[in-house]
A and B are shown apart, each in its own frame.
Chain A
Amino acid sequence: MFGGVNKACVTGVGNTEYRRKIDRPADVLAVEAVLAAAADAGIEPGEIDGIIPYPGHVGDDVIQAELSLSIRFRATIDMGGCGAVSGLGLASMAVLSGAARHVLLFRGLKGSSGARKADRPSFLPGQPFRRHLEYVYGMNTPAQRYAVLCQRYRHEYGLDRRTLGEIAIAARAHANLNPNAQMHGRELTMEEYLAGRLIADPYTLYDCCLETDGASAIIVSARNGARDIRILSVAEAQGVSPDDTSNREPFMDIGLTYAANRVWNDLGMGPEDMDAAMIYDCFTFELLHQLEEAGFAGHGKAAALIADGGIRLGGKLPVNPHGGMLSEAHQAGLNHVVEAVRQLRGECGVRQVENARLIAVSGWGQLGDGSFAVLGGRNV
């Protein structure tokens, strides 16, 4: 379907400010972002007739009640941070089939001022494995869970801490071109990076994404107007044994490996055709890992792409010019979609990727679920 002539489009994007602490509650923030997205799409909020919320956070019922929506299509994607990009596929199917005209995806999060990650309810699959085999050994956070992937990669391919440092510093440099980024105005040097306090070796403070108070929203429509950004292809997949990483074989296998391949095959395009990439950067290494699994670099080769400004604006493949989750905001990946749309419209000012026509976006959630999309601007 996604390879056919008719494409759904992202027609509206919106977000609140992103800060470490915002006094307004998450539902108020979500309403603000949704109204902004509707205004951006040039529709009345009441025209929204499809809704895909983020499980465990501000619910679809709240938005439906607040904005008096008549919802014809409702679905939940239980793939954690993967859902932002997976949702582009589901929303496309909904609007192309006629199930709905305008599908809303939104996030309203109090990630920073709410409970600490380890104290929040877990939505991970395989809960018995977590409780019987991991928590009893003091392993209960994403940082710890993904650090073991990074450690193994280091063993197999070698990995300089400075490569991870450049990922964090590039994100920060981009955030400093983005006034709404949570870390705007806060420079990060390699010296500071290397002195970061240990979280879960090899991850230190600066390898970990932000926690954010804020909200974001996008609207997907069966419309192809002048500012609308086409969803050219979307795929989602999971790694082998999606409920367990400890005995996954191959160990580095993730959903993106399969999802990206399907998108490239669907479009007859490859990584070299992309003008930029928005990569789900929950941790520095996961950005590197995904660059390789999506084919932007060979296995063990991403460090060369990352070196010498390769993933910065003006580099070979600008990655996350908004600052990503490492330095703009944690919106469970939806801010990556928002940024891709604004870049393809040419709205990004000093952080604009020159002549951006095609942008790849990745999603990551749970224990390596992956999603991948290519969005296209007007002149594609």
Chain B
Amino acid sequence: MFELDQIQVPDLTDPNFIPFWEGTREHQLRIQKCCDCQMHRWPPRITCRSCHSTEVEWVSVEPKGTLFTYTIVGRPTAKGFSSVPYTVGFVTLDAVSNVRIIGNVVDVDPSVIRIGMALEGHFVTAGPNGEMTLIHWSPAENGA
């Protein structure tokens, strides 16, 4: 459904995102965690918005969650996404309830997508030379 090899690759050498992209390549979802107050955060930031510490570590979390909100795109606007409709969802992680991850919701007819549905992330190679690994979300096996 997606032309994965045509999706534009961001600057993978951006230091704020290197641990994230290294993680997905290893089929891990890694997010940031403040070393001082232990708060998980996303998207990646220099400073903890809770305690203003700049000491940060990257931790792996289970790519499972529930759909927080979504849109079904009906008109193509991006390279690699000429085939419509497709779904973009914001997924609240089960393990870290204050973090939402953006991704495509796949393997489900758009008409039955519901906020609150249980989703599992899986890792998909993309970019002209397979430079990056994206996370797609499918209905969980034992899903609601």
Q: Which residues of A contact B (CB under 8 A)?
A: 116-118, 126, 128-129, 131-141, 144, 147-149, 151-152, 155, 197-204, 241, 244, 246-247, 249, 251
Contacts and interface: CB of A to CB of B under 8 A. Distances in A.
A131 B75 contact: no
B73 A138 contact: yes
B78 A131 contact: no
A200 B134 contact: no
A137 B115 CA distance: 18
Contact of B88 (A144, A149, A152, A199): A144
B14 A197 contact: no
Contacts of B98: 247, 249
B43 A144 contact: no
A133 B44 CA distance: 10
22 contacts: A128-B16, A131-B11, A132-B14, A136-B7, A137-B88, A137-B104, A138-B73, A139-B88, A141-B77, A144-B73, A144-B77, A144-B88, A148-B69, A148-B71, A148-B88, A152-B115, A155-B115, A197-B75, A199-B73, A201-B74, A247-B41, A247-B43
Given A137-B103, A155-B69, A132 B74 contact: no
A128 B17 CA distance: 9
Contacts, number: 117
Interface residues of B, number: 45
Contacts of B14: 128, 132
A199 B74 contact: yes
Contact of A198 (B2, B10, B78, B85): B85
B43 A246 contact: yes
Given A246-B90, A247-B43, A135 B74 contact: no
A139 B102 contact: yes
Interface of B: 2, 7-11, 14, 16-17, 20-21, 41-43, 49, 68-75, 77-78, 80-81, 84-86, 88, 90, 98-104, 110, 115-116, 126, 132, 134
A140 B115 contact: no
Nearest to A197: B74
The 6 nearest A-B residue pairs measured at CB? A198-B74, A138-B81, A201-B72, A147-B71, A152-B69, A118-B77
Nearest to B113: A201
Contacts of B80: 138
A131 B12 CA distance: 10
Contacts of A200: 71-75
A148 B43 contact: no
A144 B134 contact: no
Contacts of B100: 246-247
B93 to A, nearest CB: 11
Contacts of A117: 77
A247 B85 CA distance: 25
Nearest to A203: B71
Nearest to B91: A246
B116 to A, nearest CB: 8
B71 A136 contact: no
Given A151-B69, A247-B98, 17 more contacts: A132-B17, A135-B8, A136-B10, A137-B88, A138-B73, A139-B78, A148-B88, A152-B69, A155-B116, A198-B72, A198-B75, A200-B73, A200-B75, A201-B71, A201-B74, A246-B90, A246-B102
B129 to A, nearest CB: 15
B126 to A, nearest CB: 7
A128 B77 CA distance: 19
A119 to B, nearest CB: 9
Nearest to B12: A132
A139, A147, A201: most-surrounded residue (chain B CB, <10 A): A139
A212 to B, nearest CB: 19
A307 to B, nearest CB: 25
B102 A133 contact: yes
Contacts of B74: 197-201, 204
Contacts of B103: 137
Contacts of B85: 198, 201
Given A128-B17, A133-B43, A137-B134, A148 B70 contact: yes
Contacts of B90: 148, 246
A131 B102 contact: no
A244 B90 CA distance: 12
Contacts of A131: 8, 10-11
Contacts of A246: 42-43, 90, 100-102
Contacts of A128: 10, 14, 16-17
